[in-house]
Chains A and B, each alone.
Chain A
Amino acid sequence: MAEDTNRSLYYEFVKGLWEENPIFRMLLGMCPTLAVTNSAVNGLAMGLATTFVLTCSSVMVSLVRKIVPSQVRLATFIVIIATFVTIADYFLKAFFPPISKQLGPYVPLIVVNCVILGRAEAFSSKNPISLSVADASGIGIGFTLALVSLGIVREILGNGSIFNISIFGEWFEPWIVMLLPAGAFITLGIMIGIINAFTIKKTGKGVCFGCSIGYKLQEKLVTAESMYLTPEELEAAKAKPEKKEKKKKEG
């Protein structure tokens, strides 16, 4: 039994690094990914802040998972997440003011990072603390790795440096476009393409699938996928969960 828990602890941790990497695999949490990765340091700071919030809120969510009635589950989760984000924000402001200045309003925006609410809803609200921590820290570190690698590519090409250490010297004419929003989109697009080319599995099609208010959406069968369906198909799909609801009421 103990061995089993250990194995799954290991599994829950490792899966976030690559197999279910939130950025490259699941395409979640795009907004900070693109916004702050114009340098490797920024990516690292953002990744660590997100990992902190993700892990702490997973612990809390897992702790209260049996007490909170399902109707107010999301509200509770959001308040928990927002609390930890505020703590992270004050921590950065107090101890790393230059980094806090660089990241600006993107720190508070961790609140709406789909990855965090997604993990709270999909994992820690259903699992014990130990597993939740493993899952959250794995996903968080995977997120950080992705941010840093994106930051490194953009910093090398856009500024000729890594972690603020110049590597090319004077002759290098930086590609300023890499530091601009356009460069962020294109770099991430190409990186995802390269990763897809080397692995057989395709990246998830529905972006917000299983994320954000995933549970709420699934209840209504409105996932990102269903946006592709025609209204008729949607109606047909909607009919199913209604039956389930009726059953619940009868029960």
Chain B
Amino acid sequence: MNKTVIRMLLVLTSVGVISGGALSGVYKAAFPRIERHRLEELKRAIFVVLPDAKNYKTLEKNELKVYQGIDETGNPVGIAFEAKGNGFQGKISMMVGIDNQFEKLTGMLVLDQIETPGLGAKIAKDKFQSQFKGLSISPEITYVKNKKPEKPNEIQAITAATISSKAVVKILNRQIKEITETFKLN
């Protein structure tokens, strides 16, 4: 009886130790690569939303993190930041670019979303994303349904996916406000 218990404990402990050891090895080996992918993606996204930028530097203030784009001569061309929030099905995260004067967006790129395929997932398509390029943010972004946007601060919501479109607009407005308040005075 006692023998079995000891054997059980022995087997379980050694299985646990071996598995833990193997996994920490795998993690150590994989982590730099995963981190590199993440950074590459971040960089790519920043250059997409700030088309004029050739390089960027990270700014931090009040626990907010933004990436300031810089052109060849070292002049700032705008600020890119990550906007996250809840969509229709789950988290949506986007990279957003905004110009130096905090008046217009220079671009938007959806990084992560799990909206309904074929409907809400269209927020990650160029047709929707390109609407944000040059979009005015004063007083705030609004959306229209089933017709062409008329005002400079309007975008057209995706047909049959108004909720996802609305979520994007809501997330953007909230974060833009926050970023503007924190960084505009600089």
Contact check, A104 vs B15: say whether CB atoms are below 8 A apart: no
Contact check, A176 vs B118: say whether CB atoms are below 8 A apart: yes
Confirm or deny: B7 has a beta carbon within 8 angstroms of a beta carbon on chain A: yes
B residues within 8 A CB of A174? Answer: 118
* Bound Cα distance from A79 to B11, whole angstroms: 12
* Bound Cα distance from A53 to B176, whole angstroms: 44
Contact check, B117 vs A38: say whether CB atoms are below 8 A apart: yes
Confirm or deny: B64 has a beta carbon within 8 angstroms of a beta carbon on chain A: no
Confirm or deny: A169 has a beta carbon within 8 angstroms of a beta carbon on chain B: no
Given A83-B22, A83-B23, does the pair A90, B34 have CB atoms closer than 8 Å? yes
Interface residues of B in 1-56 (CB under 8 A from A): 4, 7-8, 11-12, 15-16, 19, 22-23, 26-27, 30, 33-34, 37, 41
Confirm or deny: B112 has a beta carbon within 8 angstroms of a beta carbon on chain A: yes
- The DSSP consensus for interface residues of chain B is helix
Report the stretch among A64-72, A130-138, A145-153, A231-239 that lies at the interface.
A64-72
Given A83-B19, A176-B118, does the pair A94, B11 have CB atoms closer than 8 Å? no
Contact check, A80 vs B8: say whether CB atoms are below 8 A apart: no
* Bound Cα distance from A69 to B12, whole angstroms: 10
* Bound Cα distance from A198 to B36, whole angstroms: 51
Which B-chain residue is minimally distant from A78 (CB atoms)?
Answer: B15
Confirm or deny: B116 has a beta carbon within 8 angstroms of a beta carbon on chain A: yes
* Bound Cα distance from A38 to B118, whole angstroms: 10
Confirm or deny: A101 has a beta carbon within 8 angstroms of a beta carbon on chain B: yes
Interface string of A195-217 (1 = CB under 8 A from B): 00000000000000000000000
B residues within 8 A CB of A101? Answer: 112
Given A91-B30, A158-B118, A176-B119, does the pair A67, B11 have CB atoms closer than 8 Å? yes
Confirm or deny: A179 has a beta carbon within 8 angstroms of a beta carbon on chain B: yes
Confirm or deny: B114 has a beta carbon within 8 angstroms of a beta carbon on chain A: yes
Other-chain contact of B8, A71, A95, A159 (Cβ < 8 Å): A71
Interface string of B89-118 (1 = CB under 8 A from A): 000000000000000000000001010111
* Bound Cα distance from A251 to B146, whole angstroms: 79
Contact check, B11 vs A76: say whether CB atoms are below 8 A apart: yes
B residues within 8 A CB of A71? Answer: 4, 8
Other-chain contact of B15, A38, A80, A159 (Cβ < 8 Å): A80
Which A-chain residue is minimally distant from B18 (CB atoms)?
Answer: A83
A residues within 8 A CB of B15? Answer: 64, 76, 79-80
* Bound Cα distance from A235 to B127, whole angstroms: 63
Contact check, A104 vs B26: say whether CB atoms are below 8 A apart: no
List chain B positions with a Cβ less than 8 A from chain A.
4, 7-8, 11-12, 15-16, 19, 22-23, 26-27, 30, 33-34, 37, 41, 112, 114, 116-119
User: Closest 5 A-B residue pairs measured CB to CB?
Assistant: A176-B118, A90-B30, A179-B117, A94-B33, A83-B19
Complex A-B: 9 CB contacts under 8 Å = A67-B11, A69-B4, A69-B8, A71-B4, A75-B12, A83-B19, A90-B34, A95-B33, A104-B114
